Structure formats: structure tokens, C-alpha cells
């Protein structure tokens, strides 16, 4: 019986040890939970601060210059409104020069010329060789493109490829033929209409349900295939803004100008106005979007404008819309105009109506009354016509 107190003592000691151990374990887990929670909160705060700091460095407008062969385009991302604008410049513009093989100037000089001309600061450039652009397209999702005009070009084997106007799913070499500006078109207008169709088709798929991850994957392809002054890491903070762009948030705008000799002079004042509107989030008017060129730099005064009544007018259906020329023939004749010829125009398809006249001041009344977005060009006109109206798709306004 003498051993009983000793046993009780041992039990008490063991119990005390267990209590201490359990308390320690509980304390450890409690401390761990506390520190884990604090660490998580600190991490979230740090990440939030990092995002806020990054947001401070995000520009309202990120401007890039993209060159594919002879094609040079401004791409403007407005981060506040999630708008993306492509500003197109004709390859024969006086801003660009090429050697005998059609190779353009060094990209830094091209960027400098654009900055000086438009009074803007360019944030980055992307310059594609034929091989790089073909790889970019082939690595991207396939897309449909409704080409308004036919084009022929040489492939990698110097074999002639002919693409008819109409619906196409373009591969890399076909896309190069459409975009690069080395192909054979009926006119620069036909080339520009195809370029617009390409951009709309390509971006329509690219930005369909875009995500941060898909934009990062695309950026890695882009910077892997082009020469640029930036890297994926440099533009990564802008990728979420690209991911938020929807197809309806994309504008394709062509700069207007005047043909002089073998060059096209961009209307710099209008170009500056358009770019300012884009960067300030203002709507770009239909006329600014559609105009491809002007034949004169001055608007005729009231005294200079010449009535179209009594003039010999030809009508050409350049929109490939059934019965369009016939409708306008009936309309204009009923209002006293002399229509000398009505026919289809087979050389190109126009989105925008063009009025060719033999003398400055002609056609202004027709534009004001019927074809508000038309471009008037002074020069040679078909046959014995004084005025020739090439109906674009924008003329499909009659019932």
C-alpha cells in the first residue's frame, strides 16, 4: 500500500506533461493560423499596392506603329474606355520611302517621321518580315475575311497566287499577299478596302472572348515573330486592357489626302484631328472614317460650285449591289438630271461613293443633296461624261 502515493504522483506528472504538450500544440496551431492569416493579409496588401503603383504608370493611350512589308498602321489602345483604333496610311504616302527592292527605311526613322508629322509620342513598334508575319498568322486562330477586291501576288516560290473578291479563310502567305502592299490591285483604294477587311476579320476572332491568359499567349507569339523595341514584360501591364476590348470597340480609320504625282500626301491637319479625337475618346465621324483621298485641298466657294443640271452624268455600280445603279438612274432622271450611261464597274468594289468630275466645283451639289460621304476627284472622266458617279455601298439608301 505504500506504493499508492507514488503511483498517483506519476499519473499527475504524466497528466501535467500531456496538458503542457497539448497546450503547446494548440498554441502552435493557433500561432500558425494567426501568422498565416497575417501573412495572407500582408501579401494581399502588397499585391494591391503593386497594382495601384502599376496603374499609376498605365498611360491613357498606348500608341504602337506596326509595319508589315509596305503597310504601316497606327494602333491606339485607349485604356480608360477599352477602345482599340487602327489608323491606316497608304503605302505610297510621302511619309514613307522604299529602295528598289521595296524595302522601307529603318523602323526608328519611320517612327520618328510619324511622331513629327502627327505631333504624337509612339510607345512601341512592331516590324514584321514576310517570314515573321506568315508565322504570326499561321500560329493564330483561323478567321474569315470578306475581301472587297481581287488581288494577285507572288508566293515564297515566286508563283503567282490569285485571290478573287469574296469570302476567304486566309493562311499566312495569303494574308501577307493581302496586307504587305506588294500585290497587284486595280487601285490603291482597292488595296485599302482589302486591308480594312483583313483587320476587321482578324481582330474579330482575336478579341472574341479574349482573356488575360490568351492575350499573354498572343503577345508571346507577336514579340517572337517581329522586331520590336519592347518585350512581353514591357507591355504585360497593358494586356488586361487588350483583353477587355470587344469587337464592337474596334475602329478602323483610313487617313485622307491628295494624290500628287506618284505620291499620296496625307492631310496632316485632318490626321492630327482624327488622332486627337481617338485619344480623347471622341467619336470619329463617318466622313473621317471613310475618306480615302481628296482631289483638291480647298473647299470650293459658293461662286465656284457648278450645277450638275444639264451636265452629262454617267452612273457606275461599284458596290456590286443588284439594281443599285438603276435605282439612282431613275431617281436622278426624275429630278431633272441628264444620265448618259448606266453600267457596272468591274475594276474594284467601293465602300464609299466616288464622284469623278472634269472641273473643280462640279459634283458638289450632288454630294450635298444625295451622297454626303462621297469623295470628289477632279481629272479624267469616262467617255464624254462631265461627271461619273461610282456608287459605293454607302449609296444603298433608296427603297
CA–CA separation, 177 vs 154, rounded Å? 8
Clarify whether residues 268 and 326 are in a common domain. Answer: no
Clarify whether residues 265 and 123 are in a common domain. Answer: yes
**Has residue 294 got a pLDDT over 60?**
no
Domain end: 225, 257, 290, which one?
A: 290
83 is in which domain, residue-wise?
Answer: 61-290
Using CA atoms of 26, 28, 32, 38 in order, give the dihedral in degrees to the nearest 10: 90
- Let me know if residue 388 belongs to a domain: yes
| Least confident span in 128-132, 137-141, 298-302, 333-337 | 298-302
**Has residue 45 got a pLDDT over 80?**
no
- Let me know if residue 47 belongs to a domain: no
Q: Cell 489602345 appears where?
A: 77
Residue 343: all three cell numbers together: 453600267
- As a three-state string, the secondary structure of 342-363 is EEECCCCCCCCCEEEECCCCCC
pLDDT band at 28 (very low <50, low <70, confident <90, very high): low
Q: What is the pLDDT of residue 29?
A: 61
- Let me know if residue 11 belongs to a domain: no
Clarify whether residues 143 and 240 are in a common domain. Answer: yes
| Least confident span in 10-19, 22-31, 315-324, 357-366 | 22-31
Helices (H) and strands (E) in the chain, counts: 12, 17
- Between 112 and 36, where is the model more confident? 112
CATH number, domain containing residue 164 = 3.40.630.190
Backbone angles phi, psi at 58, to 5 degrees: -75, 125
pLDDT band at 399 (very low <50, low <70, confident <90, very high): low
CA–CA separation, 222 vs 128, rounded Å? 9
Residue 105 CA from chain centroid, whole number: 22
- Let me know if residue 19 belongs to a domain: no
pLDDT band at 377 (very low <50, low <70, confident <90, very high): confident
Kindly write down the DSSP assignment for every residue of 215-233, as one continuous string.
Answer: HHHHHHHHHHHSEES--HH
Q: What is the pLDDT of residue 38?
A: 62
Residue 208: all three cell numbers together: 472574341
- Let me know if residue 94 belongs to a domain: yes
CA–CA separation, 207 vs 28, rounded Å? 51
CB atoms near residue 42 (< 10 Å): 10
Clarify whether residues 266 and 336 are in a common domain. Answer: no
Clarify whether residues 279 and 212 are in a common domain. Answer: yes
Q: CA-CA distances (angstroms) from residue 60 to 80, 123, 153, 282?
A: 6, 12, 39, 14
Clarify whether residues 285 and 361 are in a common domain. Answer: no
Of the candidates 252, 260, 247, 216, the residue with the CA atom closest to the CA atom of residue 234: 216
- Secondary structure letter of residue 302 according to DSSP: T
Kindly write down the DSSP assignment for every residue of 158-209, as one continuous string.
Answer: S-EEEE-SEEEE--HHHHHHHHSS-SB-S-HHHHHHHHHHHHHHHHHHHTTT
**Has residue 395 got a pLDDT over 70?**
yes
Residue 126: all three cell numbers together: 512592331
Grouping H, G, I as helix, E, B as strand and the rest as coil, residue 66 is strand
Clarify whether residues 101 and 237 are in a common domain. Answer: yes
CA–CA separation, 106 vs 127, rounded Å? 10
Instruction: Return left, alpha or beta for 366; rule: phi > 0 is left, psi -120 to 50 is alpha, else beta.
Output: alpha
CB atoms near residue 309 (< 10 Å): 11
- Between 36 and 179, where is the model more confident? 179
Mean pLDDT of the chain: 84
* Domain count of the fold of the chain: 2
Clarify whether residues 140 and 273 are in a common domain. Answer: yes
CATH number, domain containing residue 390 = 3.30.70
CA–CA separation, 341 vs 388, rounded Å? 9
Domain end: 255, 290, 325, which one?
A: 290
Kindly write down the DSSP assignment for every residue of 118-168, as one continuous string.
Answer: HT----EEEEE-HHHHHHHHHHSPP-EEEESS-EEEE-TTS-EEEE-SEEE
**Has residue 301 got a pLDDT over 60?**
no
Clarify whether residues 72 and 205 are in a common domain. Answer: yes
- Let me know if residue 172 belongs to a domain: yes
Amino acid at each position: 500500500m505504500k506504493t499508492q502515493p507514488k503511483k498517483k504522483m506519476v499519473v499527475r506528472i504524466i497528466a501535467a506533461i500531456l496538458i503542457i504538450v497539448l497546450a503547446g500544440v494548440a498554441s502552435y496551431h493557433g500561432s500558425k493560423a494567426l501568422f498565416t492569416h497575417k501573412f495572407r493579409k500582408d501579401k494581399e496588401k502588397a499585391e494591391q499596392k503593386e497594382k495601384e503603383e502599376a496603374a499609376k504608370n498605365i498611360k491613357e493611350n498606348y500608341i504602337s506603329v506596326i509595319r508589315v512589308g509596305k503597310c504601316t498602321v497606327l494602333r491606339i489602345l485607349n485604356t480608360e474606355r477599352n477602345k482599340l483604333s487602327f489608323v491606316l496610311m497608304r503605302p505610297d504616302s510621302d511619309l514613307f520611302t522604299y529602295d528598289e527592292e521595296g524595302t522601307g527605311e529603318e523602323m526608328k526613322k519611320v517612327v520618328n517621321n510619324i511622331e513629327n508629322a502627327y505631333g504624337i509620342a509612339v510607345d512601341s513598334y512592331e516590324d514584321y518580315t514576310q517570314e515573321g508575319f506568315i508565322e504570326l498568322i499561321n500560329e493564330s486562330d483561323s478567321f474569315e475575311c470578306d475581301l472587297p477586291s481581287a488581288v494577285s501576288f507572288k508566293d515564297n516560290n515566286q508563283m503567282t497566287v490569285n485571290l478573287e473578291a469574296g469570302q476567304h479563310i486566309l493562311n499566312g502567305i495569303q494574308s501577307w499577299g493581302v496586307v504587305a502592299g506588294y500585290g497587284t490591285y486595280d487601285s490603291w483604294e482597292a488595296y485599302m478596302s482589302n486591308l480594312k477587311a483583313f483587320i476587321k476579320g482578324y481582330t474579330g476572332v482575336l478579341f472574341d472572348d479574349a482573356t488575360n491568359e490568351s492575350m499573354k499567349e498572343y503577345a508571346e507569339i507577336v514579340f517572337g515573330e517581329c522586331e520590336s523595341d519592347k518585350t512581353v514584360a514591357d507591355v504585360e501591364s497593358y494586356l488586361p486592357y487588350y483583353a477587355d476590348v470587344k469587337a464592337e470597340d474596334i475602329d478602323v480609320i483610313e487617313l485622307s489626302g491628295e494624290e500628287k504625282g506618284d505620291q499620296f500626301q496625307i492631310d496632316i491637319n485632318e490626321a492630327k484631328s482624327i488622332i486627337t479625337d481617338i485619344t480623347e475618346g471622341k467619336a470619329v465621324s463617318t466622313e473621317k472614317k471613310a475618306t480615302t483621298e481628296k482631289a483638291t485641298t480647298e473647299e470650293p466657294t459658293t461662286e465656284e460650285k457648278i450645277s450638275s443640271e444639264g451636265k452629262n452624268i454617267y452612273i457606275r455600280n461599284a458596290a456590286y449591289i443588284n439594281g443599285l445603279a438603276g435605282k439612282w438612274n431613275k431617281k436622278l432622271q426624275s429630278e431633272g438630271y441628264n444620265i448618259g450611261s448606266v453600267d457596272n464597274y468591274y475594276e474594284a468594289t467601293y465602300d464609299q461613293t466616288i464622284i469623278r468630275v472634269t472641273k473643280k466645283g462640279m459634283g458638289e451639289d450632288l454630294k450635298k443633296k444625295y451622297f454626303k460621304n462621297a469623295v470628289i476627284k477632279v481629272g479624267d472622266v469616262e467617255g464624254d461624261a462631265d461627271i461619273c458617279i461610282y456608287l459605293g455601298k454607302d449609296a444603298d439608301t433608296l427603297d
